[in-house]
Amino acid sequence: MNQIDVSLIDWSRAQFALTAMYHWLFVPLTLGLGVIMSIMETLYFRTKNEKWKRTAKFWMKIFGINFAVGVATGIILEFEFGTNWSNYSFFVGDIFGAPLAIEGIFAFFMEATFIAVMFFGWNKVSKGFHLTSTWLTTIGATLSALWILVANAWMQYPVGMAFNPDTARNEMVDFWAVALSPMAINKFFHTVISSWMLGATVVIGISSWFLLKKREKEFSLDSIKVATVIGTLGILLSFYSGDESAYQVAQKQPMKLAAMEGLYEGGNNVSLVGVGVLTPGKAYNDTKDPFVFDIPIPGMLSFLATRDFNGYVPGVKDLVDGGYDTPDGKALSVAEKMQRGELAKTALTDYRIAKKAKDERAMVEAKQRLDDNFAYFGYGYFKSPTDAIPNIPMVFYAFRVMVILGGYFLLLFIVVWFFNHKKKFENLKWLQYVCLWSIPLAYACSQAGWIVAEVGRQPWAIQDILPVMAAVSDIPTSSVQVTFFIFLVLFTTLLIAEIGILVKQIKIGPEKSDTI
């Protein structure tokens, strides 16, 4: 592989991050609002009360506007695997492409089929069929997320595959190991359920705006009633699934966990940092204190990572230097893994030379060396052991933003539900303003979670197998720079347009009659 310009790697990562973060502005609202509007229509189906039909139809319009723009950004995101990450696509396309194909053929087809009935089928199909279409649209969106998250989880914990030295590609050998890996299951539930929180926040915030404007009182209070229940349930389940996700990260991606906690030197009975400020300029192997200020929770990180308050958790320095005990023996240092990676790369070259020379004995010997060292293949591209360390401050602070805001929203939903249940919420303007201005905080919480998941696994495109420096396309850096700014303008324009359309639709409010 040719030497890749570092600036090309950085620009390619920046462009993909830009696209993913814009796309992620739309996905959580689709997932969360889908559940809420489906429940509202279910209430209409069961009670025959027209107010629930009117309520459901309004939130469906908000759902539809958001869904359309989300599809546009998602399509561009998938194209970038071919344009900017062609080495990645070649190396693992046989595996990564499978869940994406299922998502496109099955889940997205389900959405596209039933969303038309959902929007245009009122008074044209039976109430039961329309309700079924609404739920199938929501389920289709959720299944789309499932298969995309299965693909993403495989990148973070590659299983169910075998490397074929004849093609220099990874091939799937166990589909169900990929689809049902613990990493995939936990990532799916945590991502989808946390989206309920964002959807609930948007519903409560917009409903509060109507109350502040002294409009649509019954509609707003009914919407808040449903949203607070879904939001509270979403937050509580997110805490549970987040705990399970953290446990999986501790087992499969210990460097990410160390970055999340700013843990440079590990040990037993390790504290969880509740709140802290990292020491600027801290290197993994210097003697500086990791924190300027921190509030630790004794033993909690050990418990979360190992289910034992006295469990051993490695820090960044431990992971780089190796030597600590693991169930499989002494942990290798990154330098040793780099040597193993070089052996794997050399063995692959030797295998292909032997194959060309039709030397079967040399082929067998080279393949054995390749198999023995392939688990560290990606380390062979590193120039220094420090290449294995992600951006610790970004991951550390993003994790705390996510957790602190999660706690904030749990409290907010409970308070709003309480006052709404007591029929006092409509008179509390200060709380209505809090709910309205909490909408951007929900997006901040969601984006922070994405940063933890994706920045925390750097430098890996595929954990231990392929770093981003080897995954990027060998194209002119200027091409990526130009398209970066084109996408920036395009996505910003789409976002502004969507917000404008949403604001206009919200100002119009729910329909006054049953006609569309």
263-307: pLDDT as tens digits = 999 999 999 998 999 999 898 888 899 999 999 999 999 999 999
Residue 101 has pLDDT above 90, yes or no: no
Sign of CA pseudo-dihedral 413, 295, 317, 313: negative
Across the chain, which distance is largest between two alpha carbons, in Å?
84
Do the Cβ atoms of 300 and 247 come closer than 8 Å?
A: no
Long-range contacts of 424-427 (CB under 8 A, 24+ apart): 425/211, 425/221, 425/224, 426/211, 426/217, 426/220, 426/221
Q: Output the pLDDT for position 514.
A: 47
% residues pLDDT > 90 (the chain): 65
| 3-state helix, strand and coil shares in percent for the chain, rounded to the nearest 5 | 75, 5, 20
Q: What average pLDDT score do residues 359-375 get?
A: 93
Amino acid, single-letter form, for residue 132? T
In angstroms, how far is CA 508 from the centroid of its own chain?
A: 34
* Residue 72: band (very low, low, confident or very high) from pLDDT cuts 50, 70, 90: confident
433-442: pLDDT as tens digits = 999 999 999 9
Higher pLDDT residue, 122 or 203? 203
* Residue 516: band (very low, low, confident or very high) from pLDDT cuts 50, 70, 90: very low
Within a domain: 87: yes
Do the Cβ atoms of 461 and 1 come closer than 8 Å?
A: no
Q: Report d(CA 237, CA 222) in Å as an integer.
A: 23
Do the Cβ atoms of 36 and 83 come closer than 8 Å?
A: no
Q: Report d(CA 204, CA 55) in Å as an integer.
A: 13
* Residue 1: band (very low, low, confident or very high) from pLDDT cuts 50, 70, 90: very low
Q: Output the pLDDT for position 102.
A: 83
Q: What average pLDDT score do residues 459-472 get?
A: 92
Q: Which stretches within 286-391 are classed as H helix?
A: 300-306, 316-321, 334-356, 360-373
Contacts (Cβ under 8 Å, ≥6 apart) of 124: none
* Residue 389: band (very low, low, confident or very high) from pLDDT cuts 50, 70, 90: very high
Tell me the chain's radius of gyration from C-alpha atoms. Answer: 25
Q: What average pLDDT score do residues 410-422 get?
A: 95
Q: Output the pLDDT for position 73.
A: 80
Within a domain: 32: yes
* Residue 235: band (very low, low, confident or very high) from pLDDT cuts 50, 70, 90: very high
Q: Output the pLDDT for position 327.
A: 84
Within a domain: 193: yes
Within a domain: 276: no
* Residue 329: band (very low, low, confident or very high) from pLDDT cuts 50, 70, 90: confident
| Domain count across the chain | 1
Within a domain: 325: no
Q: Report d(CA 226, CA 241) in Å as an integer.
A: 22
Do the Cβ atoms of 419 and 381 come closer than 8 Å?
A: no
Distances (CA, A) of 422 to 225, 298, 417, 426, 434: 11, 40, 8, 10, 18
Q: Helices 127-156 and 182-212: crossing angle, nearest 10°? A: 130
* DSSP β-bridge partners for residue 356: none
Within a domain: 68: yes
Do the Cβ atoms of 263 and 271 come closer than 8 Å?
A: no
Residue 513 has pLDDT above 70, yes or no: no
In angstroms, how far is CA 364 from the centroid of its own chain?
A: 41
Mean pLDDT of all residues in the chain? 90
Residue 308 has pLDDT above 70, yes or no: yes
Q: What average pLDDT score do residues 393-412 get?
A: 95
Q: What average pLDDT score do residues 90-111 get?
A: 79
Q: What average pLDDT score do residues 363-375 get?
A: 93
Q: Is the previous residue joined to 99 through a cis bond, with omega within 30 degrees of 0?
A: no
Do the Cβ atoms of 173 and 154 come closer than 8 Å?
A: no
Within a domain: 373: no
Within a domain: 320: no
Q: Output the pLDDT for position 440.
A: 96
Q: Output the pLDDT for position 157.
A: 92
Most confident of 74-88, 99-113, 145-159, 412-426: 412-426
Amino acid, single-letter form, for residue 274? G
Residue 209 has pLDDT above 90, yes or no: yes
134-183: pLDDT as tens digits = 999 999 889 888 888 898 899 999 999 999 999 889 899 999 999 899 88
pTM passes above 0.85: yes
Q: Report d(CA 123, CA 439) in Å as an integer.
A: 34
Which domain covers residue 436, as residue numbers? 11-255+391-508
Q: Output the pLDDT for position 485.
A: 94
